[in-house]
Structure 1
Amino acid sequence: MTSLPLLGAAMPLDTLDTLRDWVLADQRDLELQDFTTAEVLSGDWQPLVARARALLDGYEGRLGIHGPFWGLSLANLDFEIRAIVTKRLLQGLEVCEALGATQMVIHSPYTTWDYNNLDNYADARDRVVALVHETLAPAVTRAEDLGVTLVIENIEDKDTDARCLLADSFSSDAVAVSVDTGHAHYAHGTHGAAPVDYYIRRAGERLRHVHLQDADGYADRHWGIGLGTINWASVFDAVAPLDGRARLILELRDKAQILPSAQRLAAMGLAR
């Protein structure tokens, strides 16, 4: 019998400053959140990298970053905007190289509108995939060179499978899938999508990253674990076959909830 899965967390450097001992004690997976905006990526981010490296002295865990996403659809119809999206993704990968990070979270292009309308237009599904390939291809090549995996996170996705098939279409180890539990629970509660554990099971072996956050099924709450209505036993049962290959990242709005959330999951006998 395998041991309980080890929790990691997403946080900015200011929070890492206070939770460093918790992260390093068990070499937990870590996702840094300081490199998502244009202001940072087009500015001088080297001091942030230097600070991160100092805080992570002695760290041997799996490091990732949340990549840029604000206003950056991978399937934008405007070729000039797609060029900006590609630029931001490549900037994020520069940060990964400087940090030694091996994973970068990016956002799915699929919307709730897409779920009801992609089959309403001829070749619309193929068009989305083609646009994403145009946007993402340079970043995939760069990620392959760096040994970084781009994980595509569900955002508005009502369809459990579309972004999984999108990831498959690259035929690259540098493209995999992420599931955000709160986003899936929102889609389930508000739009009638499948429950959270179905998203995880449908991702299968493509799944390399999970954002753990609790929610009420109405909005993207990012609450601490146990403060919403997600069935956590089903989530961890669905994750179990991956045996640690997917990073389990607490992504909470209130960073003071990281340790209590980890303690709640430990008390439930689901994680450590």
Structure 2
Amino acid sequence: MSSLPVVGAAMTLDDVELHRDWLFEKSRDLELQSFVDAEVLNGDWAPLAERARRLLDGHTGRLGIHGPFWGFTIASEDPDIRAVVSRRLLQGLDVCAAVGATQMVVHSPYTSWSYNNLDNNDGAREDLVERVHLTLSDAVRRAEDIGCTMVFENIEDKDPHIRVALADSFNSPAVAVSIDTGHAHYAHGYTGAPPVDYYVKAAGNRLQHVHLQDADGYADRHWSLGEGSIHWHAVFAALAKLESNPRLIIEIKDKSKIRASAQYLASIGVAE
């Protein structure tokens, strides 16, 4: 019996149709990405949810969704915008309840600008955390009620510890941490952040989700694993020390290379 972690993938329902056998063969974790757009969430998404339940009947891997993120931050200074963001996240959690998802990815509010400026103005760090709490308070309660965890994914985060502290500030099982390897590699290569494995170490057992994508340290490439310059052995060595069993989700642009990405990880002896 292999002790290597089993990777899953992020995909739309159309992609699930194509990769269903691969998902089922090893009970791979799945992140559905068919519910991120406002047009979908504001419309009648019940048929999509029914399609998801039908396609995943018998699937025993863990299920999550990528939450909405286009066009907003969870730390807006504008209370009207915060209200819209709160509603959008609650819509995402309604989807989770409908399809049986136990995790929803939410984008971190931290930017490369904030890294340099949060200490430039007294109280700016605390103010940002307070705005996130104002935005997410209803969503956190809803997530707790349905047994779902929202995970904060690094986007521009240069400091790998800062969103871990943000997650901790909620003191809730419904809030945890995600890492996107390509985003971390971009921050490392372009803004001088630590390497990707340091992000894993910073998150520790608060880490419950990882987007696996390869990149060049310049842009958010979402290349197939092995096509970029991320040091995968270091990343998986850091992951192996955790007890939190994070979902390892291949998230690449070319979905036809999902299986090749998994095969690459198997070929270097770090996952299957």
TM-score by length of 2: 0.99
2:140 equivalent in structure 1: 140
In structure 1, C-alpha distance between the alignment counterparts of 2:204 and 2:150, rounded to whole Å: 16
Query: Residue 106 of structure 1 aligns with which residue?
Result: 106
User: What SS class does the counterpart of residue 9 from structure 1 fall into?
Assistant: strand
Matched with 1:124 is 124
1:28: which partner in 2?
28
For residues 143-190 of structure 1, give each alpha carbon's deviation from its aligned partner in whole angstroms, at most 9, with x where no partner exists.
000000000000000011110000000000110000000000000000
Please give the secondary structure, in 1, of the residue aligned with 2:86. Answer: helix
Partner of 1:219: 219
Provide the C-alpha distance between the structure 1 equivalents of 2:244 and 2:8, rounded to a whole number of angstroms. 11
**Counterpart-to-counterpart distance in 2, 1:92 and 1:134:** 18
User: For 1:17 and 1:61, how far apart are their aligned partners in 2?
Assistant: 16
Q: Which residue is equivalent to 1:88?
A: 88
Q: How many Å separate the matches in 2 of 1:243 and 1:132? A: 28
Q: Which residue of 2 aligns with 1:268?
A: 268
Residue in structure 2 matched with residue 75 of structure 1 by the alignment: 75
Moved over 4 A (4+): none
State the distance in 2 between where 1:142 and 1:240 align: 32
2:239 corresponding residue in structure 1: 239
Secondary structure at the counterpart of residue 6 of structure 1: coil
The alignment's C-alpha RMSD in Å is 1.0
Residues 207 and 244, structure 2, Cα contact 8 Å, conserved in 1: no
- The question of 1:50 aligning with 2:50 is answered yes
Partner Cα distance (2:244, 2:77) in 1: 37
**CA displacement, residues 72-128 of structure 1 (integer Å, 9 cap, x when unaligned):** 201001000000000000000000000000000000000000000000001000000
Alpha-carbon deviation of 1:25? Answer: 1.1
Q: Which residue of 2 aligns with 1:62?
A: 62
Q: Any unmatched runs of 5+ in structure 1?
A: none
Once the two structures are superposed, the pairs formed by residues 14-25 of structure 1 within 5 Å of their partners are: 14-25=14-25
Counterpart-to-counterpart distance in 2, 1:90 and 1:15: 25
Q: Is the 8 A contact 1:208 1:247 kept in 2?
A: yes
Over residues 56-82 of structure 1, what are the superposed CA-to-partner deviations in whole Å (9 max), with x where a residue is unaligned?
A: 111111000000000120100100000
Whole-Å Cα distance in 1 between the matches of residues 183 and 111 of structure 2?
12
Task: Please tell me whether the aligned partners of residues 7 and 271 of structure 1 are also in contact (alpha carbons under 8 angstroms).
Answer: yes
Q: State the Cα deviation string for residues 23-80 of structure 1 (Å, max 9, x = none).
A: 0111100000000011000000011111111111111110000000001201001000
SS in 2 for 1:27: coil
Alignment match, 1:38: 38
Helix, strand or coil at the partner of 2:144: helix
1:209 corresponds in structure 2 to: 209
> Partners of 2:191 and 2:257 in 1: how far apart?
28
Equivalent residue of 2:152, what SS? strand
Query: Do the aligned partners of residues 133 and 244 (structure 1) sit closer, same or farther apart at CA in structure 2, a change above 3 Å counting?
Result: closer
- Paired residue secondary structure (1:209): strand
